Structure 1
Amino acid sequence: MSDTVLTVQGLQKSFKNQQVLHDVSFTVKKGEITALLGPNGAGKSTTIRSIMGILYPDQGAIHFTGEKEGQIPKHKIGYLPEERGLYKNVKIMDILLYFAELKDYPLKKAKERALSYLKKFGLEGKDKVSIEELSKGMGQKVQFIASIIHEPELLILDEPFSGLDPVSQEVFKEEIRLLAKNGTAILLSAHQMNLVEEMADRLIMLHKGKEVISGTMDEVKKRYASFKCTINGQNDKQQLLSIPGVTRVEQREHISVLFLNQDLNPTEWIRSLPSTIHIEEFRLDRISLHEIFIDVASDRTLSAEEEKSYA
């Protein structure tokens, strides 16, 4: 498809005798935010480093549209690594222009973009300040600007929200959304599931090096996000567990969270609730991406899928 910027096909990678990637495949499209998720050790960093050419997969292919097979057009890629690192005693503008020059981007245009982004990110007037004079959060903003200074077609963000305060997270979110709206293909790896759920158009979730969930956000929610019911009221856990359609119950003081069967009809289920249940407040919604993530990390979702003979 013409809107596909990056195609990852059948990646496999081993370190010594341990296989860390098992046939991982996905695409990243123009104007979309694709989230690459998974618990620590799932294979996310290995996948990203393979895309960047830092590591070489044992098997599989990585193809950038418009390029020869295996060729990595680094001038078209922006990369914000998880391990931040900028020269501490160098002025901000010099760093940003250096990154632009590495990507063969016109320096006059790079300076204009740098000044514009510094203003947008609350760093106006600090272009001649060295990195060591900035707070950690401000330093992360500079590194983010460095990753997009050359107007990349593909932007890879590895834990971009790590260590940021809520205000700075909002600034990053807005800019990432704007970049996607303007056509940048974005591959986002992050542990803040609430932010990913707000932003991502599609996702791929890895577990132990294998692709376990993939699709658009809507598809994933429909397939994996069963309903949950939150009840505020004094209720016996065993009574709640005995209600048809309830798979498990979590309680904290007077709040009970009932997790329901995947194929349950919520309207019919509500009508069938026993009158003996004490309800002060009641809410029914789908489980969050965070809860899906926890289920995958603890193998709950995988076990349920195996019972359906899906692999």
Structure 2
Amino acid sequence: MTNILTVKNLGKSFKSKRIIENISFEVRKGEIMAILGPNGAGKSTTIRNIMGIMYPDEGSIEFNGHPENTIPRQKIGYLPEERGLYKNVKVMDMILYLANLKDYPVKKARERALAYLAKFGLEGKDKVSVEELSKGMAQKVQFIASIIHEPDLLILDEPFSGLDPVSQETFKREIRELANNGTAILLSSHQMNVVEELCDRLFMIQRGKKVIYGTMEDVKNDYANFKCTIKGQNAPALLEMIPDVQRIEQNEDVTVLYLTQDVKIPTWIRQLPEELTIQELVIDRISLHEIFIDVATDQHQLQEGGVLNA
């Protein structure tokens, strides 16, 4: 698969503070790549270096065969976390203005804008001022503006923030359709359930350094061990008899058993004590949300198999 964006050994400091260090990853044609990390981890700095808003102290950024650190901005779409539409400008004028900044043909931009407005339930809103729109409507307009010029690379920073569930589903379908049509997408979000559902690969940063990098399947297989949730009153001594358990968490009548990486689930189930009280039992993998919390809070309670690479 073709790499649209290649980030190599990126480093950036502000005065004496190191913000990102030795950051490397790729975003491939037709894939959705998540860039994750807690606040202050270095995500925004990384994105701003890719956008050319600031420049790295070390490393290089290569875009689809162009010389290092010369990103053709007309080939990139960007939806910033802080929305920035001019409030007193009509919707269509706003979209066409931003398309013109990307050297995109006005006639074609207008046709695409009308189609997208209809697709997002905003038909007839092209002559309405941005300030007259609801927050969700304005976010849809800004999303349209970020893709109106048919970018090769689309960077989405918290695209689902403030959207109702129906609008979230609309955005997810459109993002997946864009990827299916060949757009490379770099997505930053704190909504781990959406990332887990939507993204093909992920890159996680903590304190400016890479901690996890791989496909979603890799992360699940190599990092996210199984856990067993049992509803029922059980004594700690009985639970401690169960083999292949890394950690036990109890909250009243609900117990979560975090299992070792190499556990064989069918065999493990047969080893549960007969005395165990089970009203409900669920076995699943640790979620991406739990992995994120573990990394972000330095708990190191989950299985650590080293940095994943894909």
TM-score, scaled relative to structure 2: 0.96
Query: Contact (CA 8 Å) 2:153, 2:186: kept in 1 or not?
Result: yes
After superposition, residues 209-220 of structure 1 pair within 5 angstroms as 209-220=208-219
Match of 1:230 in 2: 229
Distance across 2 between alignment mates of 1:95 and 1:231: 54
* Residue segments in structure 1 that go unaligned for 5+ positions in a row: none
TM-score, scaled relative to structure 1: 0.95
- Shift of the 310–194 alpha-carbon distance from structure 1 to 2, 3 Å rule, reads closer
Query: Contact (CA 8 Å) 1:33, 1:200: kept in 2 or not?
Result: yes
Match of 2:107 in 1: 108
- Shift of the 275–293 alpha-carbon distance from structure 1 to 2, 3 Å rule, reads same
Match of 2:273 in 1: 274
2:287 is aligned with 1:288 = yes
Query: Contact (CA 8 Å) 1:241, 1:247: kept in 2 or not?
Result: no
Q: More deviation in 40-49 or 230-239? A: 230-239
Q: More deviation in 220-229 or 236-245? A: 236-245
- Shift of the 140–262 alpha-carbon distance from structure 1 to 2, 3 Å rule, reads same
Query: Contact (CA 8 Å) 1:229, 1:257: kept in 2 or not?
Result: yes
Distance across 1 between alignment mates of 2:126 and 2:80: 22
After superposition, residues 235-250 of structure 1 pair within 5 angstroms as 235-250=234-249
Query: Contact (CA 8 Å) 1:292, 1:301: kept in 2 or not?
Result: no
Following TM superposition, by how much is the alpha carbon of 1:269 offset from its aligned partner in structure 2, in angstroms?
A: 1.2
* Residue segments in structure 2 that go unaligned for 5+ positions in a row: none
Following TM superposition, by how much is the alpha carbon of 1:309 offset from its aligned partner in structure 2, in angstroms?
A: 7.5
Distance across 1 between alignment mates of 2:256 and 2:10: 39
Match of 1:120 in 2: 119
Match of 2:298 in 1: 299
What is the one-letter code of the residue matched to 1:92? V
Structure 1 moving runs of 4+ over 4 Å: 308-311
- Aligned-pair Cα RMSD in Å: 1.6
Superposed CA offset, 1:155-191 (max 9, x none): 0000101111111111110100000000000000000
2:25 is aligned with 1:26 = yes
Distance across 1 between alignment mates of 2:138 and 2:251: 40
What is the one-letter code of the residue matched to 1:204? F
Match of 1:16 in 2: 15
Query: Contact (CA 8 Å) 1:212, 1:302: kept in 2 or not?
Result: no
After superposition, residues 63-102 of structure 1 pair within 5 angstroms as 63-102=62-101
Aligned partner of residue 300 in structure 1, secondary structure: coil
Match of 1:36 in 2: 35
Distance across 1 between alignment mates of 2:240 and 2:190: 31
Q: Percent identity?
A: 67
Distance across 2 between alignment mates of 1:301 and 1:5: 34
- Shift of the 303–277 alpha-carbon distance from structure 1 to 2, 3 Å rule, reads closer
Distance across 2 between alignment mates of 1:185 and 1:274: 50
Query: Contact (CA 8 Å) 1:205, 1:214: kept in 2 or not?
Result: yes
What is the one-letter code of the residue matched to 2:212? I
Distance across 1 between alignment mates of 2:133 and 2:93: 15
Distance across 1 between alignment mates of 2:25 and 2:213: 8
Query: Contact (CA 8 Å) 1:240, 1:246: kept in 2 or not?
Result: no
What is the one-letter code of the residue matched to 2:227? K
Following TM superposition, by how much is the alpha carbon of 1:310 offset from its aligned partner in structure 2, in angstroms?
A: 6.9
